[in-house]
A and B are shown apart, each in its own frame.
Chain A
Amino acid sequence: MSVVQLEDVTKRYRNGDGWSNALSAVNLSVERGSIQGIIGFSGAGKSTLLRCVSRLEKPDEGRVLIDGADLASATGRDLRSARRKLGVVFQQFHLMRSRTVADNIALPLEIAGERPMHIHSRVQDLLGYVGLQDKQHVYPAQLSGGQRQRVAIARALATKPAVLLTDEPTSALDPETTASVLDLLKRVRDELGVTILLITHELNAVRAICDYVAVLDSGCIVEQGPVEQVFTRPMSRATERLLGKDLHLSQLATHLGKPSDHPDSVFLEIHFFGADATDHILFDVARSTDATFSILHAQIVNLNRLGHGSMLVEVSGTVSALATVQDRLRARGANVVIVEPWQNAPFTVSGHA
């Protein structure tokens, strides 16, 4: 049964004389106890989606069902009680600087009108859960970014929401802190059974903890499904761009410039998944054709417990040999993309025109 259900969520903004859609009929359902990633480039509509789901803005059309209650149409008292089913964690934490750590966590409980005794014991539990008991009396300004985000997560969990909506929760953090915050989110799901919506532009965050992912592009969900499926068999250009950009392969190719000596050489970006990632596919293919290979870059990353191998290879040979190489790689389950560096200007690293 799905605990979050977005139905035809649409949001328009005035744009000069006309209107433009920031979100166009977004549909998404999230199963209870799962971690759902929503990924996209900046400008894809992530912030608008966050603001519509958290009801900081009212969608123009559609329904936002959180644990059965429609946030999009609720108002007044109904809206306020429906909101307690959804905890929100922000990129910039948004803690109150005038309150200590413990008092920040207590805030949603005070707002819900809980009794002081109950608030105290709940706050102590949460402090222990996020490992900040020794910091309970300090002010947020005295905490590191990772500690602040832990406080924000504890605060979002205070009213025992069914769903945690997290907006770029790790984008303001360094890589090490990012890992610990992602671990905490995973524990929240595993141990407390809270469903998590993770809105981000960081592929690594999705890879690390998400079960499902939806790819947002120009206000539409262009692709969704289990993470390993979406990331290994991308069906949309947007997903490919996200994956490519993340691996920096096209940027690398751009740095290297047009394949040199051989007129018929190309750059190939090759992705292997699962057991294939560690198999000797490239060697087999090289031996079966008369094309020559030079490996420019290769790596294996962990994708939701599965291997994901990727490499940038310069292949030289006759036109038919190049076609054969691609066919055979695909036949072995690899994802192959021809990289044309001189056409990849959008992905150049800043500082290199």
Chain B
Amino acid sequence: MPELLHLLIGPTLETLEMVITSAAVSGLFGTVLGVLLVVTERGRVLSAPWTYRVLNTLTNIGRSIPFIILLVAIIPFTRWIVGSAIGTRAAIVPLIVGAIPYVGRLVEATLREVDNGVIEAVLTMGATPWQVIRKAYLPEAVPGIIRAMTVVSITLVSYSAMAGAVGGGGLGDLAIRYGYQGFRTDVMVGTVAVLVLMIQGMQWSGDVFARYYQRDTAPALSRGRRSLSRASRATAAFVSAGVVLGGLAAGVVTLHRSAAGPRPLRVGVCPIPHAEILEHLRPMLRRQGIELEILPFNDYIQPNLALSSGDLDANFFQHVPFMERFNHDHGTHVVSVARVHIEPLGLYPGRTRTTARLRDGDVVAIANDPVNSGRGLLLLQAAGLIQLRTGNSINTTVRDIVGNPRHLKIRELEAAQLPRSVEDANAAVINTNYALAAHLDPLKDALFVEHSDSPYANVLATLPSRASEPRILALARALQSEDDRKFILRKYKGAVIPAF
């Protein structure tokens, strides 16, 4: 239980920081957008049909971009704003950009609800367009804007779950990494419980404030309802203050962390075993004056992109064939500094318990990224299940299958999903890191394991220009130390094999 709480606190603060900051900033800009969408319309106080058309179209475009795409698409902008495309604050920028058109539309709808008669009454008083906005539209729409911001904040909580893609952390990322990929049901339940509490709190405070600003208490009911609302108003204010302070504290902690001492060495990793290996080496490196910042990623693309853009100092998640393929496809220049370990690929049983029982039409799942797909096919060939036209070349695809005596159906999936697929497939080829996270033991559970002379050793990688930096070299030495060898052998009992 204490361990669970410990796991939950950091991501909870990260989620609060992301949601509160992005709700506040998008609330501001979105309200401006919403106001403009109303007042620039033909016949309104600042009638400007062309401006209206442009804003309307931009808003629709903004609303139609899926968040996960926006997250990646605006990376240069994010870097320009917060100086890095990786981390919690980097996740806040796309959250804001994604939420602004959403807030704009909601605020627009609210302002259109304001009685036009009131607006005309204010116009007959000789109000300027700015006065009409400030003295009539906005104050009359306050309850609606509070309701809109409640909806937006809750939506931002679920969007922030995708922040894991850029190493932003948060509760969603925790649930995916520990709960989903790591089969930690307690973490999953704990995360959901925290999220439910958070969202209940937001909805309730939003409702209380909106009702307070509604100002439509009927005279007969006023006394009872007002005193009730005063009590709940106090609580709502208390809860909101708590939430805001929590978010600010989280922000201060992040700032403090980034402000203290020299910049730590930022290394992008897969959670298992790479993060665990680095955690083990942290004290040794600290004694050498090197502080590590370990950033876990959920995919295989971002760590290399973040390295190339300078957001990471190094990464430790890939093997050389993958790296070369990636460099070729993306025009990057990532180089290997040190071979560390081999994670033998394994064929794991699904609905079918042994290789011999695989029969006509059975489904075998393999990874869908170019390198791991080819590696998986080579493993299936080594196990005698299929024949490949390309022999032992690593550049192999499912189209190269020339012999498939049992007519197996090969399904390609996201590598992280493979442990989950064993319930629906007859067998699955799973990378060791994901197998370990799912509590599969490559030595006991696998039907067939890659040979130990595999070319797929995982490496510490960086950019050529930094390959000879002292800190990188110190990290490489630590990864290839005797201490590390002992740790790997002891911890993974042969499921991960040192490659130095």
Binary per-residue interface labels of chain B (196-230) against chain A in the complex, 1 for a CB within 8 Å, 0 otherwise: 00000000000000000101111100100000000
Assuming the contacts A56-B123, A111-B122, A111-B135, asked whether A97 and B216 have C-beta atoms less than 8 A apart, the reply is yes
User: Interface centre among B120, B126, B128, by most A CB within 10 Å?
Assistant: B126
A159→B122 CA distance, assembly (Å)? 13
Within 8 Å CB of B140, what residues of A? 96-98
User: Interface centre among A56, A82, A140, by most B CB within 10 Å?
Assistant: A56
Does B125 touch A at the CB level, under 8 Å? yes
Please tell me if the beta carbons of A107 and B117 are within 8 angstroms of each other in the complex: no
Within 8 Å CB of A95, what residues of B? 118, 121
Does B131 touch A at the CB level, under 8 Å? yes
Within 8 Å CB of B213, what residues of A? 98
Within 8 Å CB of A82, what residues of B? 126
Please tell me if the beta carbons of B124 and A88 are within 8 angstroms of each other in the complex: yes
Please tell me if the beta carbons of B216 and A112 are within 8 angstroms of each other in the complex: no
A84→B217 CA distance, assembly (Å)? 32
Does B115 touch A at the CB level, under 8 Å? yes
Closest chain B residue, CB of each to CB of A84: B126
Please tell me if the beta carbons of B126 and A81 are within 8 angstroms of each other in the complex: yes
Closest chain A residue, CB of each to CB of B140: A98
Within 8 Å CB of A159, what residues of B? 125
Within 8 Å CB of A92, what residues of B? 117
With both chains docked as a complex, state the minimum distance between the C-beta of B208 and any C-beta of chain A, in angstroms.
Answer: 17
A88→B125 CA distance, assembly (Å)? 8
User: Interface centre among B118, B139, B222, by most A CB within 10 Å?
Assistant: B118
Does B127 touch A at the CB level, under 8 Å? yes
Does B109 touch A at the CB level, under 8 Å? no
With both chains docked as a complex, state the minimum distance between the C-beta of A309 and any C-beta of chain B, in angstroms.
Answer: 40
**A-B pairs, 3 with minimum CB distance:** A83-B126, A80-B126, A94-B121
Within 8 Å CB of B139, what residues of A? 96, 98-99
Q: Binding site of B, secondary structure by majority: helix, strand, loop or mixed?
A: helix
Please tell me if the beta carbons of B218 and A94 are within 8 angstroms of each other in the complex: no
Closest chain B residue, CB of each to CB of A143: B219
A140→B218 CA distance, assembly (Å)? 10
Please tell me if the beta carbons of B124 and A86 are within 8 angstroms of each other in the complex: yes
Binary per-residue interface labels of chain B (90-130) against chain A in the complex, 1 for a CB within 8 Å, 0 otherwise: 00000000000000000000000001011011111111100
Binary per-residue interface labels of chain B (222-260) against chain A in the complex, 1 for a CB within 8 Å, 0 otherwise: 100000000000000000000000000000000000000
Within 8 Å CB of B125, what residues of A? 83-84, 107-108, 111-112, 159
Within 8 Å CB of B142, what residues of A? 98
8 A-B pairs with CB atoms under 8 Å apart are A54-B124, A80-B126, A92-B117, A95-B121, A112-B126, A139-B216, A140-B215, A142-B219
Binary per-residue interface labels of chain A (133-166) against chain B in the complex, 1 for a CB within 8 Å, 0 otherwise: 0000001111000000000000000010000000
Within 8 Å CB of A190, what residues of B? none
Please tell me if the beta carbons of B118 and A94 are within 8 angstroms of each other in the complex: yes
20 more CB-based (< 8 A) A-B contacts, given A92-B117, A142-B218: A80-B126, A80-B127, A80-B128, A83-B124, A84-B126, A88-B121, A88-B124, A94-B115, A95-B118, A96-B136, A98-B215, A99-B139, A107-B125, A108-B125, A108-B126, A111-B131, A139-B216, A140-B215, A141-B217, A142-B222
A interface residue numbers (CB < 8 A to B): 54-56, 79-84, 86, 88, 90, 92, 94-99, 107-108, 110-112, 139-142, 159
Within 8 Å CB of B117, what residues of A? 90, 92, 94
With both chains docked as a complex, state the minimum distance between the C-beta of B178 and any C-beta of chain A, in angstroms.
Answer: 47
Within 8 Å CB of A88, what residues of B? 121, 124
With both chains docked as a complex, state the minimum distance between the C-beta of B391 and any C-beta of chain A, in angstroms.
Answer: 77
A99→B120 CA distance, assembly (Å)? 16
Within 8 Å CB of A139, what residues of B? 215-217
A159→B125 CA distance, assembly (Å)? 9
Within 8 Å CB of B123, what residues of A? 56, 83
A155→B216 CA distance, assembly (Å)? 20
Within 8 Å CB of B136, what residues of A? 96
A126→B121 CA distance, assembly (Å)? 18
Closest chain A residue, CB of each to CB of B117: A94
With both chains docked as a complex, state the minimum distance between the C-beta of A107 and any C-beta of chain B, in angstroms.
Answer: 7
With both chains docked as a complex, state the minimum distance between the C-beta of B217 and any C-beta of chain A, in angstroms.
Answer: 6
A309→B453 CA distance, assembly (Å)? 119
Within 8 Å CB of A90, what residues of B? 117, 121
Please tell me if the beta carbons of A107 and B124 are within 8 angstroms of each other in the complex: no
With both chains docked as a complex, state the minimum distance between the C-beta of A153 and any C-beta of chain B, in angstroms.
Answer: 13
With both chains docked as a complex, state the minimum distance between the C-beta of A10 and any C-beta of chain B, in angstroms.
Answer: 20
With both chains docked as a complex, state the minimum distance between the C-beta of A221 and any C-beta of chain B, in angstroms.
Answer: 23
Within 8 Å CB of B124, what residues of A? 54-56, 83, 86, 88
Closest chain A residue, CB of each to CB of B138: A98
With both chains docked as a complex, state the minimum distance between the C-beta of A81 and any C-beta of chain B, in angstroms.
Answer: 6
Partner of A96, one of B118, B120, B131, B222: B118
Closest chain B residue, CB of each to CB of A140: B215
Within 8 Å CB of A94, what residues of B? 115, 117-118, 120-121
User: Interface centre among A96, A99, A112, by most B CB within 10 Å?
Assistant: A96
A305→B22 CA distance, assembly (Å)? 69
With both chains docked as a complex, state the minimum distance between the C-beta of A165 and any C-beta of chain B, in angstroms.
Answer: 8
Closest chain B residue, CB of each to CB of A97: B215
Closest chain B residue, CB of each to CB of A100: B215
Within 8 Å CB of B135, what residues of A? 107, 110-111
With both chains docked as a complex, state the minimum distance between the C-beta of B474 and any C-beta of chain A, in angstroms.
Answer: 63
A111→B118 CA distance, assembly (Å)? 14
A63→B120 CA distance, assembly (Å)? 21
With both chains docked as a complex, state the minimum distance between the C-beta of B425 and any C-beta of chain A, in angstroms.
Answer: 60
Assuming the contacts A56-B120, A88-B121, A142-B222, asked whether A111 and B216 have C-beta atoms less than 8 A apart, the reply is no
With both chains docked as a complex, state the minimum distance between the C-beta of A342 and any C-beta of chain B, in angstroms.
Answer: 42
A90→B122 CA distance, assembly (Å)? 12
A80→B122 CA distance, assembly (Å)? 11
Within 8 Å CB of B222, what residues of A? 142
A84→B126 CA distance, assembly (Å)? 6
Closest chain B residue, CB of each to CB of A56: B120
A83→B132 CA distance, assembly (Å)? 15
A139→B140 CA distance, assembly (Å)? 12
With both chains docked as a complex, state the minimum distance between the C-beta of A90 and any C-beta of chain B, in angstroms.
Answer: 6
A107→B135 CA distance, assembly (Å)? 8
Within 8 Å CB of A107, what residues of B? 122, 125, 135
Within 8 Å CB of A111, what residues of B? 122, 125-127, 131, 135
With both chains docked as a complex, state the minimum distance between the C-beta of B139 and any C-beta of chain A, in angstroms.
Answer: 4
A95→B194 CA distance, assembly (Å)? 44
Within 8 Å CB of A79, what residues of B? 126
Closest chain A residue, CB of each to CB of B143: A98
Within 8 Å CB of B122, what residues of A? 107, 111
With both chains docked as a complex, state the minimum distance between the C-beta of A74 and any C-beta of chain B, in angstroms.
Answer: 11
Assuming the contacts A83-B126, A111-B135, asked whether A142 and B118 have C-beta atoms less than 8 A apart, the reply is no
A55→B125 CA distance, assembly (Å)? 11
Please tell me if the beta carbons of B121 and A141 are within 8 angstroms of each other in the complex: no
With both chains docked as a complex, state the minimum distance between the C-beta of A138 and any C-beta of chain B, in angstroms.
Answer: 8
Please tell me if the beta carbons of A141 and B218 are within 8 angstroms of each other in the complex: yes
With both chains docked as a complex, state the minimum distance between the C-beta of B134 and any C-beta of chain A, in angstroms.
Answer: 10
